[in-house]
Structure 1
Amino acid sequence: MSSNLPLAGKTIILTGSHKIQTIAPYIEANGGQVKMFPLIEAQELVSTEDEMRLTQCNDYDWLIFTSQNAVSAFVEKLTRFGVPSSTIQCKIAVVGERTAESLQQHGLAFHFMPTVYSADVFVQEFNYEGRALFLRGSLAKSTIADGVGADEWTVYETVPSSKYIEALHEALIAEAEPIVVFASPSSVEIYAQELVPMLDWRYVKFATIGHVTTQALAKYGIAPIVQPQKYTMKAVIEQLILEETKL
């Protein structure tokens, strides 16, 4: 790998669920080494009410998705009950490009995306008529439901993953200047509980996606080296590249 590439000599550690790790080839193309240690896992939340809830979707004017995980869980439910995605006739709002792409991969179009990929901006910009249903994860805050008056359907749950803790600890102490990327407050909390007792915050640099994740880090007196205005993993890496080219 050429030492002239902007991330040459840098180790980027990804802690989010497997979906966010599709950024690895982009990091490697810019000279960085990627290590993946998910601290959280997302899994569909199965309920006896799922079939009924699916049949009620078209009673709404809008469905709201804020993550790829919600899309995946929704599609799993459609598949399990043999419901074609083409039967979903209501409009769809998303928060983020990846969520929109995930929908499109499954034959579902989106009709609204906020200018900034956050729930706060979504509720400011999403003006709609009729009824809306927010398909959420188990740890989602009430920002969207409260902000736009949407009903809620919890379609997946986020659970801590401890299987990579030891390997992550070994990677952190082996690298000279590792950069850990947090994509959610949940990952920050697990890191704080499991890793910090073994390795102090100050020996590692951090990058974050979104102001809510940055706020979770700030509770421990830590500021990220980058938190781009655009809330995507690619924007994080682009910002790291920009910072390196300034040096």
Structure 2
Amino acid sequence: MQSSLPLEGKTILLTGTSKTTTIVDDITALGGHAVIAPLIGTCERMDSHDEELLKSARHFDWIIFTSQNAVDAFANKMGRHQVIAQNFQGKIASIGTKTTTALEKLGFQVSFMPSIFSADIFVKEFPHIAGDHPSCLFIRGEKAKSTLKDGLPFDLKEWTVYETIERHDQTSDILNCIHHNPDITVIFASPSAVDVYAKDIAAHVGWQATRIAAIGHITEAALEQYGATVDIMPSVYTMQAVIEELMKVGDKS
């Protein structure tokens, strides 16, 4: 019987937006020390045409969400204009369990999720169940790549509902954390967070100072473009899967 918890002595730095309370509890229960240091934030993009756009959205065959942030911004608009999930006639497609959970809390039923939580897998699998020439609306953030627009074989309308903001207020805390913790893992869930880290942190301490974990191969590719070695990249693109992989690895030397 092991005397120590699987994450004992490990510090795990979370760089995404601050929607991480449940994973912090999980890390703590496993003996690890979680540090929330978001390098990006989001804010809803307000538009004077929001009410009209919501009315239009009701009539699409499919509405596609690829992030929890998009769901949150969409929910704000629904609340502001007194629209409920039952007002939408189309089906819902989602990437990721967190996105799906957020949609279900709003009252939506998700009809499609790709086998791997990635946009490029989505564009391969979705056409097989979408129907003939479906009308589709992608609820997106302003930094969303053109993967869906370019990859789907039918017309896709897009509605940008939130913006991503770089945060540079965490730099000193992160550098201090790295200097004082011998076994630290930094988890990245988006290329946007990688960009900020590269400028604010890696420029001072390099990429070898910590273990690097990536959620998703797009994030992994962004890290590798900066010359970082990705130590952990689970096949399931979730924070929980990263933690499970981290429980299997030894100390960072």
Q: TM-score, normalised by structure 2?
A: 0.93
2:233 maps to 227
Seen in structure 2, the aligned counterparts of structure 1 residues 244 and 101 have a Cα distance that, compared at 3 Å, is farther
The residue aligned with 1:216 is 222
Instruction: Give the aligned residue type for 2:93.
Output: A
Q: Aligned equivalents of 1:123 and 1:169: distance in 2?
A: 39
Counterpart in 2 of 1:167?
A: 173
Q: Is the 8 A contact 1:3 1:9 kept in 2?
A: no
Deviations 1:80-109 (A, max 9, x none): 111122212210000011100011111111
| Residue aligning to 1:205 | 211
Match of 1:151 in 2: 157
Unaligned runs of 5+ in 1: none
Equivalent residue, structure 2, for 1:67:
67
1:189-243, Cα deviation, whole Å (9 max, x unpaired): 1000111222222111110100000000101221211100000111110111133
In 2, Cα distance between the equivalents of 1:118 and 1:139?
Answer: 15
Structure 2 CA distance, aligned partners of 1:85 and 1:164? 37
Corresponding residue to 1:183 among 163, 182, 189: 189
**Is the 1:93–1:112 Cα contact (8 Å) retained in structure 2?**
yes
- Aligned partners of 1:192 and 1:235: how far apart in 2? 24
Structure 2, unmatched stretches of 5+, are none
* Equivalent position of 2:198 in the other structure: 192
1:34 maps to which residue? 34
Q: Counterpart in 2 of 1:49?
A: 49
Partner of 1:96: 96
Distance 1:184 1:20 in 2: 14
How far off its partner does 1:3 sit?
Answer: 5.4
User: Aligned-pair RMSD on alpha carbons?
Assistant: 1.4
Please list every run of at least 4 consecutive aligned residues from structure 1 whose deviation after the TM superposition is greater than 3 angstroms. Answer: none
- Residues 214 and 21 of structure 1: is their aligned pair in 2 closer, same or farther, counting only changes over 3 Å? farther
Q: What does residue 141 of structure 1 align with?
A: 145
Q: How many residues align?
A: 244
CA distance, structure 1, for counterparts of residue 199 and residue 249 of structure 2: 29
**Percent sequence identity over aligned pairs:** 42
Preserved CA contact (<8 Å) 1:68 1:102:
yes
**Structure 1: how far apart are the matches of 2:250 and 2:177?**
22
C-alpha displacement at 1:244, in angstroms?
4.5
Paired with 2:24 and 2:216, the residues of 1 have a C-alpha distance of 19
